[in-house]
Structure 1
């Protein structure tokens, strides 16, 4: 949801008609208004497009705020920590900029700041990854046990397997089930979703390491 909010907010700040029509189709679907918008820009269509995307942004903002108010305390604490981390990162970047402007381009202090900024990014990715997981599934991912010795290609294989399991159990839960089956399948699905989240975080970390 946050990505959609950011996308809509960016368009509302700098509206481009063609991009707006694509956003309308992506987030509001098809219908008479879309067909009319696709005929091209004029004052009426521009107004209708802006009204529609503003309304969608307001709707999603309200839903997002309502969801945030229901966040569990561990997630709230993590998000507060994320704000402090972003403040720290801003300060470190400003210090580095001041050093560069004064002609200092290499020093142990600069190196330490650079590594700390990278570490903060990893921490923020973890925090916001957990938030996104909660937004999608309605619960926080468990700390899934993943073999630390698995090679990247084995992690990719396991990810594909988990996606298959998640699809399978999601379909099972849409069927007619007893209360016991519902509980078992729900637990299995949560387990696989948590493990998938952990593996995807590991793969993201490996990708970042490989690109440095």
Structure 2
């Protein structure tokens, strides 16, 4: 909810279309008098007050989110840092895919790898992380196995990503270590599946 408020008010402040702002205040504001006041006209004093009220609402909401994030236990903060890294990786991969498509680079295999990484690796893990975060925010605790698994999952994912990078970079040139990396990657993916199944159960 708070993230939605922040996103919508921040976007509105870029253009400050009056009636869109009125709708935001109707949705998120708490003062019944002001809700009617903003609906009754478009004069400058109403516009200025609407901007002030929405900025104050944005500031208060950001403060609430910041306090909530700071109060979360270490395991949840580890998860959120992992989510941040995954979102950065996804952004970089999408940019790479865009360049491949626009420049018609003959790297169809790389494009397929990017799609698979995003659809089968990053997105499901982000869904899991945000699900755990929402569970904690709603209940004040994580599922029993989640706290134990978080650190292991984070470390394993970092190593898995490193191995995938090694394998991708040596796909054409080859390397005497490829077989070793593939074997380690397979073992890590099995461990991750076991840990993630435990978190979901």
Give TM class, smaller chain: 0.5 to 0.7
Tell me how far 1:133 sits from its aligned partner. Answer: 3.2
3-state SS of paired residue (1:41)? coil
Which residue number corresponds to residue 99 of structure 1? 100
Cα distance in 1 for partners of 2:131, 2:5 equals 16
Distance change in 2, residues 1:102/1:34 (3 Å): closer
Among 113, 120, 123, the alignment partner of 2:122 is 120
Cα distance in 2 for partners of 1:93, 1:32 equals 46
Tell me how far 1:143 sits from its aligned partner. Answer: 6.5
Tell me how far 1:49 sits from its aligned partner. Answer: 0.6
In the alignment of these two chains, the number of paired residues is 146
Which residue number corresponds to residue 23 of structure 1? 24
Cα distance in 2 for partners of 1:2, 1:142 equals 27
Which residue number corresponds to residue 130 of structure 1? 132
Which residue number corresponds to residue 50 of structure 1? 51
What's the TM-score, normalizing by structure 2? Answer: 0.64
Tell me how far 1:50 sits from its aligned partner. Answer: 0.8
Q: Does 1:87 align with 2:97?
A: no
Tell me how far 1:101 sits from its aligned partner. Answer: 2.6
Tell me how far 1:121 sits from its aligned partner. Answer: 1.7
Tell me how far 1:62 sits from its aligned partner. Answer: 0.8
> Which has the higher mean CA deviation after the structures are superposed, 63-72 or 115-124?
115-124
Tell me how far 1:40 sits from its aligned partner. Answer: 2.1
Which residue number corresponds to residue 11 of structure 2? 10
Q: Is the 8 A contact 2:25 2:54 kept in 1?
A: yes
Cα distance in 2 for partners of 1:100, 1:137 equals 44
Unaligned runs of 5+ in 2: 147-199
Unaligned runs of 5+ in 1: 145-197, 200-212
Which residue number corresponds to residue 162 of structure 1? none
Cα distance in 1 for partners of 2:85, 2:11 equals 25
Cα distance in 1 for partners of 2:124, 2:38 equals 42
3-state SS of paired residue (1:86)? helix
Which residue number corresponds to residue 195 of structure 1? none
Cα distance in 2 for partners of 1:38, 1:141 equals 46
